[in-house]
Chain A
Amino acid sequence: MPTRRRLLAWGAAAAAAGPGLAACGETAGAARMTRASRRRPGQRAHLVMWTWVPLRKAVALWNRKHPDIQVTVQMVPANTSGGYQKMHSAVQAGNPPDLAQIEYWALPEFMLSGALTDISAYGADTLKDRYVDWQWQQGVFAGATYAMPQASGPMGFFYRKDLYEKWDVEVPRTWDEFRAAARKIKKRSGGSYISAFPPANAQWFSSFPWQAGARWIRTEGDTWIVDLTGEESRRVADFWNGLLRDGLVLPTQDSQSAFFKALQTGRLASWPGAQWQDALIRGNAPGTTGRWRVTELPQWERGAHASSNWGGSATAIMQGTRYPREALEFAHWLNSAPESIDLLVAAGYGWPAAKLELAGSALGRPDPFFGGQRYNDVFQRSDRHVDTSWRFSPTTTQSYARIQDNFGRVLAGHGGLRDALRDAERSFVDDLRAKGLKARAAS
């Protein structure tokens, strides 16, 4: 029976715990560290993987081929909709999965909370040459590797061939031509736009400074340097700001019902987007089959082939696993074996991070939705021209949200995109400092 004395005892215990609890109750980072346990011959290793990518078929194939290393897939909500929250909590509680789906931009955040296993220690670096270099580098921190790259999203320009022909508009090859085409489309179509401008999608927006050669994040010694207002970023911001001011782009959030309706009805005649959006367009605008084509992003310099990326994720081996070697072996197979990649491509997971011959794979086929174009040739060229020194900060979730908040304000008529980036740069630095990191703005 809980007497008052017992209640008092509880209260006293809680109060006396004070800072002393820091030692036992609270741990920074992972509660359990990775340790390879020895397997007897014939003993099975069980691995658990958390992901939201539909890769069950590939995993089933692995399980058939490798009876001694069995992988269980557990579906979690995609990225910040709940998946990452769950992973962070599990690592802190000491019961993490062995493997997890983590996007490139989120890897530094997981590094910061000590959630990833250094897989260089288990021989990961010998596999480096099998992957596209910039994607491999996304998982490398201070010379050690922490994640196996899986897929990315090279950028391209989706456009409605029929509409461009109907309105007699040339497909833009430079950003200047893009602006001119935007004017023509607005004038001749009666209510259509060359593109949407999603204010709350800093990942989409950042692909344009990335293409122009900006470096939003870099490190110097032990300091993080944030540069949202460099010359290239300002140029891109002013460009889109002009389009917005003149009403030449449709300010609407992408991948929402209004956006899909605009794709379906021809209100959007084109869209600069990532390779993995082919499935989204195909699925949400089925009435436009055969009318879409893909070409490379418009350029700042005529004749150049600068490209960039939006999206992409890795298979990370989490801190606390008992089978790091087996997990690495599986992660490598999943992301590089041709039979696995074909299954993943069929499930629409993005652009493979492994170096790959397109001709033999599912990506190399002509597609009736794109009028029989072998549109992935465009994305392969794009992937090869992605500038490889782009990095992400360990505060991306929060700091990119600040950019989005500021862009929302611009759309409501308060200031321009350039000011929005300048304000976001300040809070970006504050976010890093709030995490106990050294940081400064570049300018």
Chain B
Amino acid sequence: MTTTGRPARRRSGRTARPDGRAWRFLAPFLLVYVFAMILPILYAVYQSMLTVERSGPTGLGKPSIGFAGLDNYALALDQTAFVESFARVLLFGIVQVPVMLLLALVLALLLDQLPDRWAGLLRSAYFLPYGVPGVIATILWGFLYVPGISPIGEVLGEFGFQPDFLGYDNVLWSIANIVVWEFAGYNMLIIVAQLKSIPQELYEAARIDGAGPWQTALRIKIPLVRPALILTCVFSIIGTMQLFSEPLVLKKIAPAVTQDYTPNLSAYFDAFANANMYLAAAKSVLLAVAAMVLSFGFLSLVNRKQRSER
């Protein structure tokens, strides 16, 4: 193998293509990956281009399947409620992701200052909500939101506030609160892991140069956990786009959560309530494309910034 023409700064240790042995090790993974990921995706893309053709009186005769081309995509994009659901999760993400990551970062930095014994205990405590499945968490929070049952509402009522957590304008932020509660601890743990990998010499050097805890945090820790922040941010963007179980569970008690509240809910209701698999497939493909554009867009944005800083 020759290296002529290749960029000189290419990272070493990675050859161009895996050899026979590598394929053998990769086989179990690839087999599952192809059957559980690639084929279903291809099948969904294929389904998204089909439609049911009806016949007979009032259309109740025997139906047949026809090729629809991009009709389902046009139909999906024609539904204002579906398009609005993208705007809704975007708004949700713009507010919720920074709040959650800031909280995770602050918690991680605080834990880093504590003696090990306390840090371990608190770390588990903050991480605990992640162990509660999203559906259960939402049911739990649901009880805290429902007017007439909620103890929070009762206490605030004593002071003259009548918050309607499930109201038309508030329910999105009530969902955001649940998501923050669930995932702040998880993201904190990723950042903590990155903090642990920072060599102690850097801290010593900083101390010798006269940096206090504030300066150490701002000048050393935060820049060095940047990769973890980027990673958690990408995860959060994808998670936000796929927001599903929280609104689905809250829907039962909050009429403001419509069946097109998030793109995922919209596809779900088309597939399983409305028995229109093909339209649902089109919506899912659109959602996947949007999530991909957003996360790769974010990655290329931060990478470009990184490169220009060098």
B42 with A14: CB separation less than 8 A: yes
The answer to whether the Cβ of A170 comes within 8 Å of any Cβ in the partner chain is no
Chain A 8-23 interface 0/1 with B at a Cβ cutoff of 8 Å (1 = within): 0010001101110110
Contact, CB under 8 Å: B148 / A435: no
Instruction: For residue B25, give the distance in angstroms from its CB to the closest CB of chain A.
Output: 11
Q: Contact at B256–A412, with CB atoms within 8 Å? A: yes
Q: Is the CB of A3 within 8 A of B60?
A: no
Known: A2-B27, A114-B63, A252-B148. A222 touches B57 (CB 8 A): yes
Quick check: B59 and A397 within 8 Å, CB to CB?
A: no
Query: Chain B's interface: helix, strand, loop or mixed, by majority?
Result: mixed
Which stretch of B4-12, B101-109, B216-224, B266-274 is in the interface? B266-274
Residues of B within 8 A of A359 (CB): none
Interface size class of B (residues with CB under 8 A): 35 or more
The contact string, 1 if C-beta is below 8 Å from chain A, for chain B 165-205, is 00111000000000000000000000000000000000000
B259 near A437: Cβ-Cβ < 8 Å: no
Residues of A within 8 A of B305 (CB): none
Bound: A200/B270 CA distance, A: 18
A397/B273 in contact, CB under 8 A? yes
Report yes or no: B255 in contact with A29, Cβ–Cβ below 8 A.
no
Can you list, as one digit per residue, whether each of B256-293 has a CB less than 8 Å from chain A (1) or not (0)? 10111000000001101111100100000000000000
| Cross-chain contact B27 with A80 (CB below 8 angstroms) | no
Query: Does chain A have a CB within 8 A of B149?
Result: yes
A2 touches B255 (CB 8 A): no
Closest approach, in angstroms, between the C-beta of A89 and any C-beta of chain B?
A: 9
Query: Which residues of chain A (60-117) have a CB below 8 Å from chain B?
Result: 80, 84-85, 88, 108-109, 111-114
Whether A22 touches B50, Cβ cut-off 8 Å, given contacts A111-B60, A258-B147, is: yes
* A398 pairs with B168, CB closer than 8 A: no
B278 to chain A, nearest CB (A): 9
A434 touches B75 (CB 8 A): yes
Within 8 A of A (CB), among B114-151: 143, 146-149
Name the residue of chain A whose CB is nearest to the CB of B148.
Answer: A258
The answer to whether A85 touches B52 (Cβ under 8 A) is: no
- Chain A, interface size: which category? 35 or more
Q: Within the assembled complex, what's the spacing in Å between the Cα atoms of A78 and B31?
A: 37
Evaluate whether A408 and B34 lie within 8 angstroms (CB atoms) in the complex, with A29-B63, A398-B273 already known: no
Query: Which residues does A use to contact B, with CB under 8 Å?
Result: 1-4, 7, 10, 14-15, 17-19, 21-22, 26-29, 80, 84-85, 88, 108-109, 111-114, 141-142, 199-200, 219, 221-224, 252-253, 256-258, 261-262, 267, 394-395, 397-398, 401-402, 404-405, 407-409, 411-414, 431, 434-438
B residues bordering A, Cβ < 8 Å?
23-24, 27, 30-31, 34, 39, 42-43, 46-47, 50-54, 56-60, 62-67, 75, 81, 143, 146-149, 167-169, 251-253, 255-256, 258-260, 269-270, 272-276, 279
